Amino acid sequence: MLNNERIKLSTPWVIFYRQIQALFKKDPAVKVVYDQVDNVIRIYVEGGTKAEAIEKLLPSEKTFGNVTVKIVVIPSNLDENNKISLFEKAFDGNPILSTIVSGELFGNSVNYVLFKKEVVQFYNDDLSDAHGVCSTLYQEIAKEVFGEDKGVFFCTEVDGSDLEEFEE
């Protein structure tokens, strides 16, 4: 039986903040802060190019029912439309990124953002875990935070030994 005194619940917007924080917490050039009073997630970034890319990738606000959270990247300002270039700039120097692979398939641009093979854990008290811990992969967090985008796929790196079972 669960001890009810230990159960604490976070709102969906706090969970969203934790997802963004999990994506960038290992990057020394990025700091993510949540202002609960104003419902604003502020992302402080060293380097204008990286800040501009992160700003372009993330929504400027996200609505959870009747609550809207604003996402502000500081500094910010970009006029570039190449999405994969934005991911390259946003994750430049971030150790969670393995590589970015771009190509073309039947005349369509196909891009893969490959993250390191690592289980990510962060405090997430949404009742899916008795201890309030979320265990997932960077690719799953990226899908939640950045959303599905045509031509950009989030994946986890695999080494050659992981592929042996699929070879015949």
Mean per-residue pLDDT over the chain, rounded: 83
Give the tens place of pLDDT for each residue, 50-95: 888 999 999 999 999 999 999 999 864 433 346 788 888 899 999 9
Q: Quick one: how far is CA 6 from the chain centroid?
A: 28
Number of Cβ within 10 Å of residue 146's Cβ equals 20
Sign for the pseudo-dihedral over CA of 108, 101, 49, 42 = positive
Number of folded domains that form the chain: 1
* 114, 97 contact by CB (below 8 A): yes
Nearest residue to 97 (alpha-carbon basis) of 142, 54, 127: 142
Total count of residues recorded for the chain: 168
Residue 118: both structure tokens together: 């690592």
Tell me which residue range forms the domain holding 35: 4-166
Q: How confident is the model at residue 102 (pLDDT cuts 50, 70, 90)?
A: confident
